[in-house]
């Protein structure tokens, strides 16, 4: 097992930088620089010196003993002054130590997973927490990092193992009289897991949106004030505005934080019949992106004939109220009339959608659960054929269990690990 080290805080000048060492010889290597080390889970101020005795820095030193550490191995952290020169000097000294090497991106977290400190879903939750920009993203990532999804998977897995054991017990005693029909209990176990899987799969779509961001499309005919409204929402000139119809050709995106929710507003091309080839492509893209958005804001009058129709949840407003005088249902990006009310309506709508968010936040999670769900549907069908098909049902149950185990990284995920950990920074 290698002993690895890296700067665990961001590169560049800072008040404090953290350099982490993890592995079998972490304490010995740290002791070469710091002298005697403080006891586990205690901090001590030490003077760090290289092999020639040159003073590198005065740092706070923390130690953690295996297995009670982030990686599950011995860990030492140097909390140094955050200048680039100090950090580089300490890293050079560690590079010269025997048995140490620079960590690869995400390697500390990978050690934590391989040592059973985190499951794969928690690893992804940690990555999401590091990338979180809004309050909703932070809260969701912490739920996954806490192990809540892994706990749910463990409960499902236990129920399915119980169901499989009942079926296999019946198979083992096929030549004897088995006084108990296990089908009712197995069916009940399957029903409970299937219902919970269905709810979690449904909630995963919203959870993924919280992680990646909701999309709100501003839709309407040309010159309806869509780009002006986008600029008002963004507080800057994000889109070009003019009185010339067809000014917006491509979808313009502005990312915002609305009451803790990540939201990307889309300014789309004006919807109309056009002979201009480039504008027609923009209109086609506008219709596609708007149709895929989580919510649409229509700036249109009753006379406008648009190729995209609003749903019950969409918001329909009268555009350019500064010119039309519509104060009840109008909006103006020029004067700001109705903008605060629009933001409040969008917040309320997306907050209501977020209430159904599940714990699964990635497409990979959803795919694993859907695979398990398909296996369980097969089990239910096979059970109806009677005891003679229990061996097939048991095999389908084992397939469902394996699908759930891939969700938390217990089996068949080696091809995913490099991609997942590559997204981490060097010292994590």
Q: pLDDT digits over 263-317, tens only? A: 999 887 666 555 566 656 667 777 888 888 999 998 887 666 676 788 888 999 8
CA distance 295 to 289: 11
CB-count exposure of residue 226 (10 Å: 0-12, 13-18, 19+): buried
CB 37 within 8 A of CB 45: no
Tell me the average pLDDT of the chain.
85
Residue 87 has pLDDT above 90, yes or no: yes
Q: What confidence tens digit (pLDDT) does each residue in 2-43 have?
A: 899 999 998 888 999 999 999 999 999 999 999 999 999 999
Using DSSP, state whether 114 is helix, strand or coil: helix
Tokens 């919510």 belong to 295
Considering only CA atoms, give the Rg of the chain: 29
Residues 6 or more apart from 143 whose CB is under 8 A from it?
A: 125, 149, 359
Strand partners, 59: 46
User: How high is the pLDDT of residue 17?
Assistant: 96
User: How high is the pLDDT of residue 120?
Assistant: 92
Residues 6 or more apart from 79 whose CB is under 8 A from it?
A: 16, 17, 18, 59, 60, 61, 62
Q: How many residues does the chain have?
A: 428
CA distance 197 to 372: 9
User: What are the structure tokens assigned to 202, written together?
Assistant: 């449904």
| Pair type for strands 75-82 and 14-22 | antiparallel
User: How high is the pLDDT of residue 107?
Assistant: 93
Helices (H), 301-362: 321-324, 339-354
User: Nearest Cα to 251, choosing from 229, 274, 282, 207?
Assistant: 282
For the chain, the helix, strand and coil percentages under 3-state DSSP, each to the nearest 5? 45, 15, 35
User: What are the structure tokens assigned to 356, written together?
Assistant: 């159904």
Q: Phi/psi of residue 291, each to 5°?
A: -65, -30
CA neighbours within 13 Å on the CB side: how many for 401?
Answer: 17
CA distance 282 to 284: 5
**Which bin fits 404, alpha (ψ -120 to 50), beta or left (φ > 0)?**
alpha
User: Nearest Cα to 265, choosing from 230, 317, 290, 292?
Assistant: 230
CB 214 within 8 A of CB 264: yes
Residue 324 has pLDDT above 80, yes or no: no
Residues 219-238 have a mean pLDDT of 78
CB 261 within 8 A of CB 188: no
Least confident of 14-28, 220-234, 408-422: 408-422
Residues 6 or more apart from 242 whose CB is under 8 A from it?
A: none
Residue 178 has pLDDT above 60, yes or no: no
């Amino acid at each position: 097992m290698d002993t690895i080290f890296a700067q665990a805080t961001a590169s560049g000048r800072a008040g404090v930088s953290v350099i982490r060492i993890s592995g079998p010889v972490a304490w010995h290597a740290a002791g070469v620089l710091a002298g005697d080390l403080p006891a586990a889970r205690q901090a001590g101020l030490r003077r760090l010196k290289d092999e020639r005795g040159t003073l590198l820095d005065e740092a706070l030193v923390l130690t953690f003993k295996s297995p009670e550490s982030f990686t599950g191995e011995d860990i030492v952290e140097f909390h140094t002054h955050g200048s680039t020169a100090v950090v580089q000097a300490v890293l050079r000294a560690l590079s010269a130590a025997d048995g140490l090497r620079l960590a690869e991106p995400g390697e500390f977290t990978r050690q934590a997973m391989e040592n059973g400190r985190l499951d794969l879903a928690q690893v992804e939750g940690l990555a999401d927490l590091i990338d979180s920009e809004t309050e909703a993203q932070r809260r969701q990532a912490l739920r996954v990092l806490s192990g809540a999804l892994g706990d749910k998977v463990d409960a499902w897995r236990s129920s399915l193992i119980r169901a499989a054991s009942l079926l296999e017990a019946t198979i083992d005693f096929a030549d004897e009289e088995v006084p108990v029909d296990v089908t009712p209990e197995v069916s009940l176990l399957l029903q409970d897991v299937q219902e919970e899987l269905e709810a979690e799969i449904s909630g995963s779509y919203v959870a993924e949106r919280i992680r990646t961001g909701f999309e709100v499309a501003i839709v309407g005919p040309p010159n309806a004030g869509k780009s002006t409204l986008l600029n008002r929402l963004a507080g800057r000139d994000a889109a070009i505005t003019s009185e010339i119809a067809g000014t917006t050709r491509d979808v313009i995106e502005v990312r915002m934080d609305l009451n803790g929710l990540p939201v990307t507003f889309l300014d789309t091309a004006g919807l109309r019949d056009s002979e201009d080839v480039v504008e027609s492509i923009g209109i086609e893209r506008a219709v596609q992106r708007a149709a895929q958005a989580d919510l649409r804001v229509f700036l249109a009058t009753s006379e406008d004939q648009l190729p995209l129709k609003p749903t019950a949840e969409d918001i329909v407003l009268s555009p350019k109220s500064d010119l039309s005088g519509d104060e009840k249902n109008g909006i103006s990006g020029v004067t700001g009339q109705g903008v605060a009310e629009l933001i409040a309506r969008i917040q309320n709508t997306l907050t209501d959608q977020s209430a159904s968010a599940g714990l699964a936040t990635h497409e990979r999670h959803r795919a694993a659960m859907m695979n398990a769900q398909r296996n369980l549907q097969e089990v239910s069908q096979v059970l109806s054929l009677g005891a003679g098909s229990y061996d097939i049902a048991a095999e389908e149950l084992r397939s469902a269990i394996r699908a759930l185990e891939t969700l938390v990284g217990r089996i068949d995920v080696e091809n995913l690990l490099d991609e997942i950990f590559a997204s981490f920074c060097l010292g994590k």
